């Protein structure tokens, strides 16, 4: 029986108790965490309530393979697998009207699976590929994009927007575009569709001399396309006027759309409402930033405008008072009203179906690593809005989703003993949460996990930098122990009080728990630029990328040296992406501070990063252009100082990386060899892998490689690193 108790902390205790019988059934004893265990820790996402409120559908990802599972909303019995595909991701699932079937796109067609059991099967099969399959509000039809394939290389050159009856299979073409159609969205009454047309990528290929002309390195320039709306009965698409870059769009009511946009320099953020009859946008709210609009991106924090189901209100996030808070503005225009306030950050708003409440997640003042589910009630009017919280205790609770009757929300929870899992709770204070999933392998002894300690240390200019200290259990305080500093990715990230909320960083937290069981002290700084601490801390990277923020990160070594149980001569450093960039800075600016370092897909030079069309605007918004600020770019170029490298460096990178192109590490290797640093350099490239390592064979190799590397250089173990 999977039932929660009165508080999150008590739910955790129940979860630990549940793990023992499962281990006993498998004749396993709880064990130390192994690298092989890490691959088996799954990550749930995209929960969807069934229309009758009895079940929750979700994706469960293991090492980059995501399948659909369904859980009873009351927590009784184990979740059941609806699909068992051996590779790939299952995205875009939705329920049938009677809550008995689940539909989902797969292999270019629409498939279905019955929750009563049986193998999943296609609803239809066509020679062409379909994508972006979305149900109508009454779930009797689907809209989707069918791609016509022209050239032999399979490049789509034409797209049709189609509406199909689920019962009869009859189809009608609603719109066409010679380039592409993406993101179809039904109006609330099912009479219209909005979509984007003309989105495309422009390939930019290069073969630099240091790599030779046998291999082509490709980057992409993205052209955002045009928003359209079309009434199904008329079939005449209307272009929705956009200004600059736009993010999310949604229907306000059957005749209006809302979308948001940013200026190219990221200094102005606007919310537009447009009548689809004429396509002319009207600004209902503007936000201007002196530095740059730095609220976490639309996907991470839900910063796009969210219209209420009744069309009266639009919710959005703003840091106008220095902290990310929830605001509501009338969709017809008027003054925005702030619903949450204080020294904390509220993200991921979700309207109840009756438009009277907004669920969200927020941290607490002085507790940036914990998050709780709050509910803002506006049924009595904005002037009488109230905010209550339905979760409590330690850990992170994020991304609430309302049940159809608005009585419950399902959300994701992590803490110091549990990786991400789904819980459901009644949407009122003092309710009892119910656990819906258990993603940790049964054989792991959770009592061995180390809880982080939240500390502060002096940073680059004396400002106190927050960080998370992990001390191994049963550490001998009179001995000197090796330590490892972990530097997280770019500024739309932070560390949490327990497992990271994102799958891409949760795998690193898991690996650190493994390192702690090997006897390492681990430290994770939240350098300036990190989220969770307000606008001023987040904007601390403005015109100073690779400056004070990088110093904040490597100066955490100075803090570790003050701890009597840390060996000052055996400190390692590593990081991913922006953290890899900081690792390279640390290893070259402070060549004797760290015994060894690991760069995972780090930026090596910001002029190079700026020249990539995909990243140019992002870079310019923070440090201008290379012509405007050459000295800033010079500081943000650790490759220029690779001749200072004195200690061993391991570089890991995937060849299909979009966030930090693989070519950056190729250039780094070449420059290091030219400067005679080949004896200090180890390198592994992963064919076909992206920025965040996902596949089992890549994770196993990468973590064993890092384990061997630190064991050899920080502990003096005889095994030579891979």
DSSP string covering 384-395: G-EEEES--SSS
**Residue pLDDT, tens place only, 263-272:** 888 888 899 9
* Residue 12 lies inside a defined structural domain of this protein: no
- pLDDT for the residue numbered 719: 66
Instruction: Look at residue 440 in the predicted model and tell me its pLDDT.
Output: 94
| Cβ atoms 503, 64 nearer than 8 A | no
Is the Cβ–Cβ distance between 331 and 307 less than 8 Å? yes
Please tell me the predicted confidence (pLDDT) of residue 245.
Answer: 64
Per residue in 62-100, is it b (16+ CB within 10 Å) or e — as a string?
ebbbbbbbbbbbebeeebeebbeeeeeebebbbbbeebe
H/E element, 697: helix 696-715
Q: pLDDT value at position 156?
A: 52
- Of the candidates 647, 657, 651, the one whose C-alpha atom is nearest the C-alpha of residue 692 is 657
pTM over 0.75: yes
Structure tokens at 570: 């055996």
Cβ-contact 419, 513 below 8 angstroms: no
How far, in Å, CA of 453 to CA of 474, rounded?
Answer: 16
Q: What is the pLDDT of residues 678-700, one digit of tens each?
A: 999 999 999 999 999 999 999 99
CATH of the domain at 509: 3.40.50.1820
Residue 164 lies in a domain: no
Q: What is the pLDDT of residue 293?
A: 82
Q: Tell me the CA distances in angstroms from 444 to 19, 199, 684, 697, one per residue in order.
A: 9, 46, 29, 21
Task: Give SS3 for 322.
Answer: coil
Contact 652, 570 (CB under 8 A): no
Question: Residue 180: which of 216, 150, 210, 207 has the closest Cα?
Answer: 150
Domain assignment present for residue 577? The answer is yes
What is the model's pLDDT at position 10?
Answer: 31
State the number of CA atoms in the 13 A half-sphere of 631 facing the CB.
Answer: 3
Q: Within a domain: residue 314?
A: no
Domain region containing 538 = 452-605+636-715
CA nearest 400: which of 381, 426, 432?
A: 426
Task: Output the CA torsion sign for 659, 662, 665, 667.
Answer: negative
- Specify the pLDDT at position 30: 60
pLDDT at 302: 56
Which token pair is 642? Answer: 């690779």
pLDDT tens, 503-560? 999 999 999 999 999 999 999 999 999 999 999 999 999 999 999 999 999 999 999 9
- Element spanning 38, H or E: helix 35-40
Residue 643 CA to residue 677 CA, distance in Å, equals: 7
User: Could you write out the DSSP letters of every residue in 168-188?
Assistant: T--EEEEEEESS-EEEEEE-T
For residue 542, being part of any structural domain is answered with: yes
Q: How far apart are CA 65 and CA 76, in angstroms?
A: 26
Residues forming beta bridges with residue 401, ordered by sequence position = 410
Domain count of the chain?
A: 1
In a domain, 629, yes or no: no
Is 596 inside a domain boundary?
A: yes
Q: Shortest CA distance to 170 belongs to which of 210, 124, 138?
A: 124
What pLDDT does residue 4 have? 32
Evaluate whether 505 touches 469 at the Cβ level (below 8 Å).
no
- Beta carbons within 8 Å of 41's beta carbon, 6+ residues apart: 419, 439, 440, 441, 506, 507, 510
Nearest to 367 by CA among 492, 532, 527: 532
Strands (E), 622-710: 649-654, 681-686
Per-residue model confidence as pLDDT tens digits over 654-681: 999 999 999 999 999 999 999 999 999 9
Mean pLDDT, contiguous 10-residue spans, the chain (722 residues): 31 33 43 89 97 98 96 95 93 96 96 95 94 96 87 62 96 95 96 94 92 91 91 93 75 96 86 94 92 72 82 95 96 95 96 98 94 95 92 96 98 97 96 96 91 97 97 95 96 92 96 97 97 94 95 98 98 98 98 98 96 88 94 97 98 96 97 98 97 96 97 86 63
DSSP per residue over 469-519, as a string?
A: EE--TT--TTS-EEEEEEE-SSSS----SSS-SSHHHHHHHHHHHHHHHTT
What distance in Å separates the CA atoms of residue 588 and residue 645, rounded to the nearest whole number? 5
CA pair distance 537, 664, nearest whole angstrom = 28
Residues 194-247 pLDDT 10s: 999 998 889 999 999 999 999 999 988 888 889 999 999 998 999 998 655 677
- Does residue 377 lie in a domain region? no
pLDDT of residue 244: 57
């Amino acid at each position: 029986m999977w039932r929660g108790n009165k508080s999150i902390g008590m739910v955790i205790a129940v979860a630990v108790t549940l793990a023992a019988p499962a281990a006993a059934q498998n004749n396993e004893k709880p064990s130390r965490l192994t690298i092989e265990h890490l691959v088996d820790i799954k990550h749930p996402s995209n929960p969807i309530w069934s229309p009758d409120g009895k079940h929750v559908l979700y994706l469960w990802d293991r090492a980059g393979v995501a399948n659909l599972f369904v859980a009873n909303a009351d927590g009784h019995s184990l979740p059941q697998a609806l699909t068992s595909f051996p590779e790939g991701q299952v995205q875009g699932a939705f329920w049938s009207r009677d809550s008995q079937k689940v539909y989902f796109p797969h292999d270019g067609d629409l498939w279905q699976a019955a929750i009563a059991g049986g193998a999943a099967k296609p609803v239809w099969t066509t020679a062409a590929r379909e994508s972006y399959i979305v149900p109508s509000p009454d779930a009797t039809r689907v809209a989707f994009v069918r791609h016509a394939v022209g050239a032999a290389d399979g490049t789509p050159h034409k797209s049709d927007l189609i509406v199909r009856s689920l019962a009869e299979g009859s189809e009608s073409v609603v719109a066409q575009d010679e380039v592409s159609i993406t993101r179809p969205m039904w109006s609330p009454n099912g009479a219209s569709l909005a979509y984007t047309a003309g989105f495309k990528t422009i390939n930019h290929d290069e073969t630099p001399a240091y790599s030779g002309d046998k291999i082509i390195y490709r980057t992409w320039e993205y052209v955002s396309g045009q928003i359209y709306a079309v009434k199904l009965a008329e079939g005449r698409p209307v272009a929705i006027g956009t200004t600059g870059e736009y993010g999310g769009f949604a229907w306000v009511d059957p005749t209006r759309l809302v979308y948001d946009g940013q200026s190219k320099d990221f200094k102005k953020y606007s919310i537009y409402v447009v009548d689809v009859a004429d396509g002319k946008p009207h600004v209902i709210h503007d936000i201007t930033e002196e530095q740059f609009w730095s609220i976490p991106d639309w996907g991470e924090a839900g910063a796009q405008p969210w219209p209420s189901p009744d069309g009266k209100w639009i919710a959005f996030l703003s840091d106008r008072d220095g902290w990310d808070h929830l605001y509501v503005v009338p969709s017809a225009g008027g003054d925005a009203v702030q619903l949450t306030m204080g020294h904390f950050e509220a993200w991921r708003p979700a309207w109840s179906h009756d438009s009277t409440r907004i669920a969200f997640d927020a941290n607490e003042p002085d507790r940036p690593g914990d998050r709780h589910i709050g509910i803002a009630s506006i049924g009595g009017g904005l002037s009488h809005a109230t905010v209550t919280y339905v979760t409590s205790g330690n850990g992170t609770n994020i991304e609430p989703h309302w049940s159809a009757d608005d009585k419950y929300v399902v959300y994701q929870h992590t803490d110091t003993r549990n990786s991400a899992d789904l819980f459901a709770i009644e949407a009122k204070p003092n309710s009892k949460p119910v656990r819906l999933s258990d993603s940790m392998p049964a054989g792991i002894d959770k009592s061995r996990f180390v809880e982080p300690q939240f500390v502060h240390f002096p940073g680059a200019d004396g400002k106190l930098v927050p960080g998370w200290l992990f001390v191994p259990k049963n550490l001998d305080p009179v001995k000197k122990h090796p330590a490892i500093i972990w530097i997280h990715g770019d500024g739309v990230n932070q560390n949490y009080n327990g497992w990271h909320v994102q799958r891409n960083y949760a795998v690193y937290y898991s690996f650190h728990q493994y390192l702690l069981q090997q006897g390492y002290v681990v430290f994770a700084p939240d350098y300036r630029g990190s989220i969770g601490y307000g606008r001023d801390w987040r904007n601390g990277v403005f015109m100073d990328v690779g400056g004070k923020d990088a110093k904040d990160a490597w100066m955490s070594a100075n803090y570790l040296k003050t701890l009597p149980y840390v060996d000052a001569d055996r400190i390692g450093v590593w990081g991913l992406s922006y953290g890899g960039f900081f690792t390279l800075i640390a290893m070259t600016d402070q060549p004797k501070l760290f015994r060894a370092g690991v760069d995972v897909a780090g930026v090596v030079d910001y002029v190079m990063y700026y020249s990539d069309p995909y990243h140019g605007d992002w870079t310019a918004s923070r440090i201008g252009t290379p012509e405007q600020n050459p000295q800033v770019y010079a500081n943000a170029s650790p490759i220029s100082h690779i001749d200072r490298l004195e200690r061993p460096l391991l570089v890991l990178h995937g060849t299909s990386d979009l966030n930090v192109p693989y070519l950056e590490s190729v250039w780094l290797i070449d420059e290091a060899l030219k400067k005679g640093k080949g004896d200090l350099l180890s390198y592994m490239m992963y064919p076909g892998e992206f920025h965040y390592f996902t596949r089992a064979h890549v994770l196993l190799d990468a973590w064993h490689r890092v384990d061997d590397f630190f064991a050899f250089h920080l502990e003096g173990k005889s095994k030579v690193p891979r």
